Amino acid sequence: MAGVQVSNVSRSFGAHKALDDVSIDFADGGFYALLGPSGSGKTTLLRQIAGFDFPDSGRIAIGGESVERVPVEKRRIGMVFQNYALFPNMSVADNVAFGLSVRGEAKAVIATEVQRALALVQLGKLGGRRPHQLSGGQRQRVALARAIVTKPRVLLLDEPLGALDKALRVDMQIELKRIQREIGITTIFVTHDQEEALTMSDRIGILRDGRLVQEGPPEEIYNRPKSEFAATFLGDANIFRGDTTGNGIRLADGTAIAAGAGATLAAGAKASCAVRPERIRIATDAGAPDGNANILKGQVSKRIFAGNNSTYFVERAGQTLKVIVQNTGMERLAEGQDVVLRWSPESTVLIAAN
Amino acid sequence: MAAATASRNGLRSALPLLAPAYLWLTVAIFLPLSAMVFFSFMTELPLSGKPWAFTLGNYAAFFSQSLYLTLLLASLRLGLEVTLWCVVIGYPAAYVLAKVLKGRSREAIFLLVILPFWSNGLVRIFSWAMVLREGGILDTALNAMLPFKINIDLMYSYPAVIIGLVHSYVPYMVLTCYLTLQAIDDSLIEAGRSLGASRLQVLKRVIIPLSMPGLVAGAALIFVPVVGSFMEPRILGGRTGTFYGTVIEDQFVAVFNWPLGAALSFILLAVVLVILAIASPVLRRAA
Ligand SMILES: Nc1ncnc2c1ncn2[C@@H]1O[C@H](COP(=O)(O)OP(=O)(O)OP(=O)(O)O)[C@@H](O)[C@H]1O
Ligand SMILES: [Mg+2]
């Protein structure tokens, strides 16, 4: 087991910079999610760590040992592919045994290790099957067993749950997390799915156009996004743009919005404020005055019912704001109704304009 | 039960589509072949106007003269050697085409590989004759490059026959192997390497087993016609080029003993079928 340090790694394909000076420290035993839109360089970064591809510049170290020119087969990593990549010519047990067998382990050792790995992914009885006789979820478990049976230093997963349906995916998320905890392996997990990233990982790295936009624990990124992109990519956010006042911004129409968190910026600079839709309270009247709360008036344009909650779209000075309200059985607001939005400065993050 | 019904329905709906193919097979292959079976049991060709009768003598001739068996064994060996050379040359070429080259360069090389297919067989063989003979292209070129004098005269020799046949048949191996190799997902190779296998181990344990169907198909496509080949042995082999195929050809074009030629052909067909029947389960198990 070992941590992974990626330092100033760049990789270009022709004129296109797929990775642009990326540095991330993956601590030993942690569970990391790499998140980003399509084409942002997630797979490229994972392939540099795995050793399928080498960076143009920068350093990659696994367990403190420089590996940026070491080929895959010498890096002692485990990799799980989106399409499983099980060997169709071998049984499940032979697939899992592959890594041990190319290493020349004794037959008896291989048999016990394979059985243990299959038991870990709860497939103890299916060793004799061929990959095509398994369901998608079972194949993914085999792929996982095959990747960890060699006791790799790092486990790399490229959208491993992407091909599974929603319910199975949630099962596999729990399963994967359990196994990761049980063997305590450093895990780097590429995903498109922000919810998956939020629920599973200790830390999240957000990539955009080959650059690392922000990195940190899920709650920190969610509550303290450092860019509009991070705010809107991980979860939903209402963004206000204006000029900095020191402790917030002033919108074009003169309305001030107070922010209790985020960047410290010199007054006068362009900046934005982000607030999560579930942090805003929506009401038909102003209610009791409340010292420093941000208050805006608007009009409901649409309501979307989603079972346990509803999303209200509120028009305000040409901007559509989103508010998410738990459905507690209270009166619902009608479309066209005038409303007052209210939220605390602590829920508001000040972001430097990009 | 349901599956059986479904397959029967499938067969019925496929019948109109298959009919032209079966008709063609009947006219082009089955009828002439039956005629040949018929001839092989005759003393004389009925078309020749001479009196004829049924006989097993043509088949007995094969067993009464050891020459036929010797030639058959030589032809089988030739088929085996040519097939092996085609694997040795064709498989790596197919691998490079399928897994290493990308885009336009792949298309260009592919064209070069199948080019021999499009040239006339005789032209191809006589070109080799020009290359291989003493004072030919190879001899002249090597002597121009090397400081010492060497004599290259491969013409009318066993190696010349092998070279000519391998050149003619290697595209089959490249094509069948290319098709199976191309169907192997690159992520399997990457998975193998991520598990600590060297490129060679991945080749041995994953790629070759998965491309076995292509190798077997290519081998069958090459072995069978090479065992019966006569053009390359005759032109490039000269006096050393007497094989089972050339003897059969003689019966048809020189001696006009069609019944014997037909009988020898069917013995060859039987032997080849037995070999394929024995070899295919072995190869399938290896895969
Ligand atoms: N081998 C390659 N040759 C050329 N360009 C490449 C290559 N690999 C990746 N790229 C480019 O690099 C960029 C990043 O690709 P990458 O596969 O890392 O994206 P990703 O974040 O994994 O996207 P996705 O979520 O769609 O999988 C893309 O613009 C892609 O076209
Ligand atoms: Mg990707």
What CATH number is given to the structural domain containing B278? Answer: 1.10.3720.10
* 3-class secondary-structure state, position B42: strand
Domains observed in chain A:
4-223 (3.40.50.300), 238-352 (2.40.50.100)
In the predicted model, is pLDDT for residue B142 greater than 90?
no
How many whole angstroms separate alpha carbon B104 and alpha carbon B86?
25
Q: Which residue of B196, B209, B287 is in closest CB contact with A99?
A: B196
The pLDDT, as a whole number, for residue B286 is: 63
User: CB–CB of B197 and A77 under 8 A?
Assistant: no
Quick count: other Cβ atoms within 10 Å of Cβ B15? 10
Whether B20 is in a domain gets the answer no
Ligand 1 in reach of A38 Cβ (< 6 A): yes
Whether B265 is in a domain gets the answer yes
In the predicted model, is pLDDT for residue A93 greater than 90?
yes
Place of tokens 């195929």: B245
Q: By the 8 A CB rule, do A80 and A157 touch? A: yes
- Over chain A, what HEC string results? CCCEEEEEEEEEECCEEEEEEEEEEECCCCEEEEECCCCCCHHHHHHHHHCCCCCCEEEEEECCEECCCCCHHHCCEEEECCCCCCCCCCCHHHHHHHHHHHCCCCHHHHHHHHHHHHHHCCCCCCCCCCHHHCCHHHHHHHHHHHHHCCCCCEEEEECCCCCCCHHHHHHHHHHHHHHHHHHCCEEEEEECCHHHHHHHCCEEEEEECCEEEEEECHHHHHHCCCCHHHHHHCCCCEEEEEEECCCEEECCCCCEEECCEECCCCCCCEEEEEECHHHCEEECCCCCCCCCCEEEEEEEEEEEECCCEEEEEEEECCEEEEEEEECCCCCCCCCCCEEEEEECHHHEEEEECC
Whether B39 is in a domain gets the answer no
Q: By the 8 A CB rule, do A312 and A335 touch? A: no
Q: Please give the residue that has the higher pLDDT: either A250 or A46.
A: A46
In the predicted model, is pLDDT for residue B6 greater than 70?
no
Whether B47 is in a domain gets the answer no
Give the B-side interface with A, CB within 8 Å: 185, 187-188, 190-198, 201, 205-206, 209-210, 287
In the predicted model, is pLDDT for residue B76 greater than 90?
yes
Whether B41 is in a domain gets the answer no
**Predicted confidence (pLDDT) per residue in A284-337, tens digit:** 877 776 778 899 999 999 999 888 899 999 999 889 999 999 988 776 788 888
To test ligand 1's pocket by mutation, which of A11, A13, A83 has the most ligand atoms within 8 angstroms of CB?
A13
Ligand 1 in reach of A41 Cβ (< 6 A): yes
Whether B7 is in a domain gets the answer no
Tell me which residue range forms the domain holding B134. 65-286
Please give the structure tokens belonging to residue B81.
């050697």
Mean pLDDT across chain A = 91
In the predicted model, is pLDDT for residue A266 greater than 80?
no
Q: By the 8 A CB rule, do A162 and A192 touch? A: yes
Q: By the 8 A CB rule, do A26 and A4 touch? A: yes
Which one of the ligands is nearest to A42 CA? 1
The pLDDT, as a whole number, for residue B7 is: 55
Whether B95 is in a domain gets the answer yes
Q: Please give the residue that has the higher pLDDT: either A166 or A37.
A: A37
Q: What is the mean pLDDT of residues A205-225?
A: 95
Q: Which residue of B191, B196, B198 is in closest CB contact with A85?
A: B191
How many whole angstroms separate alpha carbon B191 and alpha carbon B84?
30
In the predicted model, is pLDDT for residue B49 greater than 80?
no
Ligand 1 in reach of A350 Cβ (< 6 A): no
Q: What is the mean pLDDT of residues A207-226?
A: 94
**Predicted confidence (pLDDT) per residue in B224-271, tens digit:** 999 999 999 998 988 888 999 999 999 999 988 889 999 999 999 999
The pLDDT, as a whole number, for residue B2 is: 47
Closest residue in chain B to residue A97, using alpha carbons only: B195
How many whole angstroms separate alpha carbon A273 and alpha carbon B146?
80
The pLDDT, as a whole number, for residue A21 is: 95
**Predicted confidence (pLDDT) per residue in B172-201, tens digit:** 999 999 999 999 999 999 999 999 999 999
Whether B38 is in a domain gets the answer no
How many whole angstroms separate alpha carbon B209 and alpha carbon B286?
7
Ranking A36-40, B28-32, B213-217 by mean pLDDT, the lowest is B28-32
The pLDDT, as a whole number, for residue A253 is: 86
Ranking A133-147, A159-173, B77-91 by mean pLDDT, the lowest is A159-173
To test ligand 1's pocket by mutation, which of A42, A82, A190, A192 has the most ligand atoms within 8 angstroms of CB?
A42
Burial B91-106 (b: 16+ CB within 10 A, else e): bebbbebbeeeeeeee
User: CB–CB of B197 and A76 under 8 A?
Assistant: no
Confidence grade of residue B155 (pLDDT, cut at 50, 70, 90): confident
Ligand 1 in reach of A264 Cβ (< 6 A): no
Ranking A61-75, A135-149, B11-25 by mean pLDDT, the lowest is B11-25
Confidence grade of residue B1 (pLDDT, cut at 50, 70, 90): very low
In the predicted model, is pLDDT for residue B279 greater than 90?
no
How many structural domains comprise chain B?
1
Q: What is the mean pLDDT of residues B200-208?
A: 95
The pLDDT, as a whole number, for residue A152 is: 95
Stated pTM of the model: 0.83
Burial class (CB in 10 A: 0-12, 13-18, 19+), A6: buried
